[in-house]
Amino acid sequence: MKVLRLFKPSDLRIQDEPLPTPGANEALIRVKAVGVCGSDLRWFTQGGIGDATLDHPLVLGHEFAGETEAGESVVVDPAIPCGVCEHCQRGDTNLCPQVRFAGHSGQDGALREFICWEKDRLHQLPDSLSESDGVMLEPLGVAIHAVDLAHLQAGMSVGVFGCGPIGLLIIQLARLSGASVVVASEILPHRMNAAKMFGAKQVFQPDPKVPESAILKATGGRGLDVTFEVAGAQGAVDDAFTAVMPGGKVILAGIPVEDRTSFSASVARRKGLTIKMVRRMKNTYPRAIRLVGGGQVDVRSLVTHTFPLEQAAQAFETAERREGLKVIIKP
């Protein structure tokens, strides 16, 4: 079978490797579609994320859908938690220290023709959803988890700083949660337009004066109840802290390039802010499937580029240039 491995930053190579043999409680899956995520781009451009570094040729890809040997279309949860640690036992499987995660560190991911994965991490894909729709259920799961952490309530005002795929999904979920106002900040014009299409009332390009003027004006001068930073950029973090109201929440979902995020202690302290970090997701696939299958969340419009495995390098370069919205590779 064809397998795509990352040997070093920007060095992707297609190899022929033996077909994997499923172990106990595993299924053999023919991979149909794989999304290129922002974290995949960190591996591609930097050879790692934080203290996780590339120490052997790695197969990337954790947003994926495929088909079992029985012909069933499935979407795959990329995380395999241990199931026995304190975090797993209390339901926080996303915090499991022993988790195996597709396309990360020692666990090869889905950018190959076939993969073996634990059966209890598979979810049936409804006939109404395509494999590309299935790929988008993973970033939607992250967005759902971020919104869960915010405890959004009807009538709240929300800000989304960074309008890549997860930011755009958060905008949709905020509207579904009954947010009275959703504003967004994004540097790229085509993503600004997408934010408006998905329900942001006002969309701004990052500017030092924006949170102090236009965003405050949009909320009647009170600031935002909740802000989501989804850009992985320090400027977006700063804007999220400035725009949120006293007593509000800041949800940090972006992955910074330099593995360090900072904020003004005096601003956070004087406002009495609640700050939460997003660690992947937990138990969100059934909800994501219902939301997309029921037409409440649009994921299909987010997929703008599709490449075959042979053009994976081009796919990663397209995603790195932030062209379009979501890039998908079909092995």
Residues 6 or more apart whose CB falls under 8 angstroms from that of 193 comprise: none
Give the confidence band of 128 by pLDDT, cuts at 50, 70, 90: very high
What pLDDT score was predicted for residue 259? 87
Give the confidence band of 106 by pLDDT, cuts at 50, 70, 90: confident
Examine the pLDDT at 175 and tell me if it is beyond 60: yes
Tell me the mean pLDDT in the region 93-102. Answer: 97
% of the chain surpassing 90 pLDDT = 91
How many residues are given for the chain?
331
- CA distance linking residue 194 with residue 256, whole number of Å: 23
* pLDDT tens for each residue of 208-242: 666 566 777 777 888 999 999 999 999 999 999 99
- Sequence ranges of the domains in the chain: 2-136+299-330, 140-277
What pLDDT score was predicted for residue 220? 80
Tell me, what amino acid is at 172?
A: Q
**Is the full-model pTM beyond 0.85?**
yes
Examine the pLDDT at 132 and tell me if it is beyond 60: yes
The token pair at 161 is 């700083």
**Any bridge partners for residue 228, and if so which?**
160, 251
Q: CATH second-level architecture of 2-136+299-330?
A: Alpha-Beta Complex (3.90)
- CA distance linking residue 269 with residue 114, whole number of Å: 50
Which SS3 state, helix, strand or coil, does residue 328 take? strand
- CA distance linking residue 27 with residue 46, whole number of Å: 32
Mean pLDDT for the chain overall? 95
Inter-CA distances, 225 with 44, 158, 207, 234, 247, Å:
36, 6, 20, 20, 8
CATH class of 140-277: alpha beta
Examine the pLDDT at 104 and tell me if it is beyond 70: yes
What pLDDT score was predicted for residue 51? 86
- CA distance linking residue 162 with residue 182, whole number of Å: 13
